[in-house]
Amino acid sequence: MRREIALLGDIVAEADVVLHHVDECSFERFAADAILSRASLHSLMIIGEASNRIPADVQMRHPQVPWRDLAALRNRIVHDYPGVDLTLVWSLIQNRLKELRDQVASVIEAENIEELES
């Protein structure tokens, strides 16, 4: 279970990095700042890769987290990098990333409690 907790922690940490760096940032600045947008995409790739490595039993216990969507986002960024639409990425960051981060933090708490009870 320690590996799963580490992967879940990676998701939370990367979400925190993105949310911190785009805080009070406009879309125009995000799109114009190649370092910021590329770093955010890199963090989203890490989130997707980590979510893909979460074991199926953990995913099934926590269906509120869009595990498959996160893995699909990672695949899209990696395999169709020129086709990535920054407006969609910005929308995801602004409208879904905080909720995802909180969901995964709740999974960490639940899985830690479950491990302690075992």
The full DSSP string for 36-99 is: HHHHHHHHHHHHHHHHHTS-HHHHHH-TTS-HHHHHHHHHHHHH-GGG--HHHHHHHHHHTHHH
**Stated pTM of the model:** 0.92
- The residue range of the domain holding 34 is 2-117
> What is the mean pLDDT of the segment spanning 82-87?
91
- Predicted local confidence at residue 117, as pLDDT: 59
Residue 115 has pLDDT above 90, yes or no: no
Split into its structural domains, the chain has a count of 1
Least Cα distance to 13 among 39, 43, 52 occurs for 43
Cα(118)–Cα(112) distance, integer angstroms: 10
Residues 24-69 pLDDT 10s: 999 999 999 999 999 999 999 999 999 999 999 999 999 999 999 9
Give 23's DSSP letter. Answer: T
- Predicted local confidence at residue 118, as pLDDT: 54
- Predicted local confidence at residue 81, as pLDDT: 76
Catalytically active residues are 74, 79
Residue 116 has pLDDT above 60, yes or no: no
Reported as a pLDDT band with limits 50, 70 and 90, residue 80 is confident
